[in-house]
Structure 1
Amino acid sequence: QALQLFIDHRRDVILRRTRFDLERAQERAHILEGLKICLDHLDEVIKTIRAAADTEVAATQLQTKFGLSERQARAVLALTLGRLTKLERGKIDEEYEQVIKTIAYLESILASDQKVRLLIKDEMDEVVKKYGDDRRTEITDQEPNELSAEDLVPKEDVVVTLTHRGYVKRQPLRVFRAQKRGGVGLKGARPTAGSDAPSGTREEDYAVHLLTTHTHASMLFFTQSGRVFQLRVHEMPERERQAKGVPVNNLIDIGPNERISAVFVRPETEAEARYMLMVTKNGYIKKTALAEYANVRRNGLIAINLQERDELNWVTPTTGSDDILIATALGKAIRFSEKEVRAMGRDTQGVIGIKLGKGDSVAGSATATPGGDLLVVTERGYGKR
């Protein structure tokens, strides 16, 4: 019975992982189809974009003239005109064919219980090869002491990585040895497919959050829709440097249309931080006491109420007397004291932190350190200190 429960668990893990990968592959195929349409009418597409008054008008006209979906139109507009003109049809076709093969491969797994069983067997064979050894614990008749799961986990410094496509893992900090200036560094991740999957699967993935902490700490995960989740670091899977990790939705109950937009290690004392400051794409800010989020359930809590088409993209722990910096996509910035923002409860919207001009949006937010420097980096790689 225990063995059957374990097999059922492994089947559930594989099916959820496969559905997650399939959804991402289908999204990418949809975007590539839109890019192919634009390449077929490149001159007219560029003319339409240049003639539009703003991005909303451009998106509507692209959908009307070329039959693009809203998501495809947004993907095209996310490219600069320079990048759009440099797109190579051969590479787009090649990637599209590869993604279609990936979709077929993932759909075949979901359609075949036999393939799922073979995957369970293959993955367990790999575990046996890697970790198989003699039993290290002794079975006795003694009464066990009251222990929590955390008591069984050594306190160890680790690095937690979360990728663009939602894969998370932790690694011991010791695997990243210190190097002198000018060193080439080490690969911290290499998201790749299984040996029997089409080549190139998940090749466009990359790390977006990299945090150092320890195994007894907690982390708060915020989604763009305004929800917050909490996860103990030791509950995250430990993986090797070049392993991809596991889908974060296997660990917390985020929705299919949600993505993690902000992550930080929960401060352990009020001396480190008393509040957290949230900033949305449309310029709203909200300060809430960390104590409001002392008991975050697995299915999450509402961190902030958002207006339509707004997103929560930046969350920063603060001491209550920090200075806050907010920068916009059109190059404007504001700095003000956190003391000017009153603390609010969880289920609130916040207040306007910066007034945005037409077509502008918040591009970044950070706390300012007295006497420190600020490094600003643009979308095209220009930097300014």
Structure 2
Amino acid sequence: MSTCILVVDDEPDLELLLVQKFRKQIRGGTLRFLFARDGVEALAVLADHQDVDLVLSDINMPRMDGLSLLSKLQERRDELSTIVVSAYSDMANIRTAMNRGAYDFVTKPIDFYDLEATIAKTIHHVEALREAQRRQAEAEQARASLSRYFSPNLADRLASGIHAVNLGGTRREVASLFTDLTGFTTLVETIEPKLLGQLLNDYIAGMTDIVFAHDGTVAKIIGDALHVLFGAPSDQPDHATRAVACSLELDAFACSFREHWCGEGIALGHTRIGVHAGPAVVGNFGGGRFFDYSAYGDTINVAARLQAANKTFGTRVCVSASIATNAQHFCGRPVGDLLLRGRTVPIRAFEPLKADQCASAETRAYVEAFEKLEVGDCDAVASFAALVGRNAEDRLASFHLRRLLNGDIGTSITV
């Protein structure tokens, strides 16, 4: 690799001496010299030669001295390493030069062995600086690419180094969130590909922006469906709180998005969301040619099944008791004690609500009806019937009313 040095000095003999001293390096192509008589000429040379690596400059020169040249280089934000040359008696100016960004100095009369060592040290500094800049640029490029697919926290981790993408997993406490857009498969078959692409891109972009705003990690996107993690790859003690807040905002966005496209004549379905918290094995899994940042375990399976259970209850968002218990200031309606197939222990599920919804008379009436359902009070039928009578769109109340009318009792629900 060739290093280009700009020598700025008004002594005519210095050029000949430098060419003679470094003739082997010049012939070998490792060093190349450019020359200027003062700071004004040096700036002109720099403008014409963008490949200058370092500057060797005298201090006392006509028109523009070395100190003024250093100031100009600082103004231009040129990241050039500069070696200043001056006599021992001019130490005050040397100190000023160092304060203005000079990397090193040599004294006159020039000791060429000292000069050679100083140049070698400065070249090593320049190479180290460029390597650091190269690595930073690569990291920024990697992060920019990864950020198209992963949340910022995961992108930062993956871009930080090769060890971040090592295969293997760790067990950690997470909140797992699944979303699914109902009727999407049918939609694919009924609208033009271009329109489908616009719709899906806008939907995924809006959903992932919300996830990222809550510092969630999008572990997977399959078609319209998202799998989101809180508490991975970085610990988030408030992962349950984040998951609830995120699910409510995702629901609001999805409803608005659906309303917009329905207005355009596209029968877009509802988005269903399921959330559960607990231990999971999280990490990079795959082969030597690719990796898949994923999470595995019962916690993940339950979250996915809660998402699917919304279809049964008529809800859009369903979270487990592990989420409701650990989320700060959680409010919502109890759905029931779900007996998921393959499990022996029921899971209490809730429909999370915003604070104003929780405080409403309708929600209080629902909770009272559910409490009657829990204790086997026969008045539960009338209470749920009254709820449906006041609001026929209350699908969860309608679900419980149908159960009771069909002879079911209690809060245990097999799904």
TM-score for the superposition, normalised by structure 2: 0.22
Pick the structure with greater CA Rg: 2
- The structure, 1 or 2, with the larger RCO (C-alpha pairs under 8 Å, 6+ apart) is 1
Q: Which has the higher helix share?
A: 2
What is the TM-score when the length of structure 1 is the normalising length? 0.23
